[in-house]
Amino acid sequence: YDLIIANPPYVNAAAMATLPAEYRREPELALASGDDGLDLTRAILAGARRQLRPHGLLVVEIGHNREALEAAFPETPFTWLDTTAGDQYVFLLHRDDLP
């Protein structure tokens, strides 16, 4: 692919435990992504290179997990995209920059 856009589940375990009732009506697999909220993002990062063409791009929403992601992948040059919510929720990576 030239472009992969993903909005995987990204709620961490602590936040899952305190979600309001209306959110808990959703299936857990639609929201939860492990202790730090990055389980599915890690899987996407691990597999994206095989799916992207040489100059392909990956764009992923990660919720409030920017600090955790940057700590987990300190050598990865994430580009943070401006959104109406701010510049810490969606990253872009070129295929060659994937960990």
Tokens of 26: 């959703």
Q: What is the pLDDT of residue 24?
A: 86
**Spatial separation of the C-alpha atoms in residues 74 and 37, rounded to whole Å:** 17
Q: Is the pLDDT of residue 87 over 90?
A: no
More confident site: 87 or 66? 66
CA distance readout (Å), 19 to 32, 43, 73, 74, 80: 11, 24, 27, 29, 26
Alpha helices in 1-99 (DSSP H): 13-17, 21-24, 39-51, 66-72
Q: What is the pLDDT of residue 25?
A: 92
Q: With contact defined as beta carbons under 8 Å apart, do 60 and 41 qualify?
A: yes
Sign of the C-alpha dihedral, residues 19, 22, 26, 31? negative
Per residue in 32-83, pLDDT tens?
Answer: 999 999 999 999 999 999 999 999 999 999 999 999 999 999 999 999 999 9
Q: What is the pLDDT of residue 82?
A: 95
* Residue 86 pLDDT level (bands cut at 50, 70, 90): confident
